[in-house]
Amino acid sequence: EVQLQASGGGLVQAGGSLRLSCSASGFTFDEYAIGWFRQAPGKEREAVSCINISDGSTFYGQSVAGRVTISSDSAKKSVYLQMSSLNAEDTAVYYCAAIRPYGRNWYLAWHVAGEYDYWGQGTQVTVSS
């Protein structure tokens, strides 16, 4: 059974930092890319970041570039999202998802939620101002 377990969310003050974790099981971890998305109430799901496990290539959304770092640990089948300089606009439910990176241009769609094969449940991040 495929499982993606996101954790690490919580309440943090503006300007603070938080590290989210995504633990994967039930599929060949190294053959996938893992992405983070977020969704705030009344807003569309937004791509935050993605990492291709096999080659370590990373991608970031414009709204978070420079404030987040994505990393992975193949031994633990986990992906991490380190977020800093958080503000109220970062408040959302954060989801991790897995996409199979077919073809060398797969990364052009890293930000498209519909391209992902598996999704985990979300973890709530709330930034207080």
Q: Residue 101, CB half-sphere, CA atoms under 13 Å: how many? A: 23
pLDDT tens profile 51-75: 999 999 999 999 999 999 999 999 9
Q: Give pLDDT, residue 103.
A: 87
The low-confidence residues of the chain, meaning pLDDT below 50, are none
Q: Give pLDDT, residue 16.
A: 98
Q: Residue 25, CB half-sphere, CA atoms under 13 Å: how many? A: 6
Measure the CA–CA gap between 13 and 95, rounded to whole angstroms: 21
N-terminal to C-terminal alpha carbon distance within the chain? 40
Measure the CA–CA gap between 50 and 26, rounded to whole angstroms: 19
